[in-house]
Amino acid sequence: MDRAGRLDGGDGGAVAAGVVGAQAVEHAVEQDRAGRRPVVAVLVKAVPGSGRDVVTGIRYDRVRGTVHWTDVRDGKRTVRTGTVDVKPSARPGSEVPAWTDGRGRLVSAPVTSVEASTRVVLAGSGVGPATGLVVLGGGCLGRLRVQRRATERWGAERERVGREWGHTTG
């Protein structure tokens, strides 16, 4: 930025990289969300317990439960079994939400629109400054290399001229 707070040429690259990074994350999140399908699963059994960690005492609002669901793909109906997180109060026979991928495997629920927006903003906010730091670091390395070369030339010139100056003193 210049003194007036306007972007100069160097800042534009970091901003562009931040925008491209945010767009890439947004595209990845959209693909991930599009690849998940909701299914209604029936709870077969839940892990008994209150959802409390025995070591730390932390209380969880979910426990693992075995479920059955019907997978319908390519006109075929297949009953599948898997495990999902359910509320500790869920009873066998109750319906619980579950998500599957394109192959019918259980996956976690897709991110919400708020979580997706947060990921996009964080990615853009991280990629921009990171790109700026890479450019800044590259500029510093280039400047150090030029300074080193100039110092070496100055030393060689001083060595050559210094001998001549040494002979003229009394």
Residues 82 and 142 in one domain: no
Domain-located, residue 4: no
User: What would you report as the CA-atom Rg of the chain, rounded to the nearest whole angstrom?
Assistant: 31
Per-residue pLDDT of 80-100, as tens digits, reads 888 888 887 788 889 988 888
The segment with the largest mean pLDDT, out of 14-23, 55-64, 73-82, 146-155, is 146-155
pTM here is 0.53
- pLDDT at res. 139: 92
**Domain extent for 88:** 36-108
Residues 48 and 103 in one domain: yes
Per-residue pLDDT of 101-148, as tens digits, reads 877 788 888 888 888 888 888 888 888 888 888 888 999 999 999 999
Residues 47 and 77 in one domain: yes
Residues 76 and 55 in one domain: yes
Residues 99 and 127 in one domain: no
Residues 100 and 52 in one domain: yes
- pLDDT at res. 142: 94
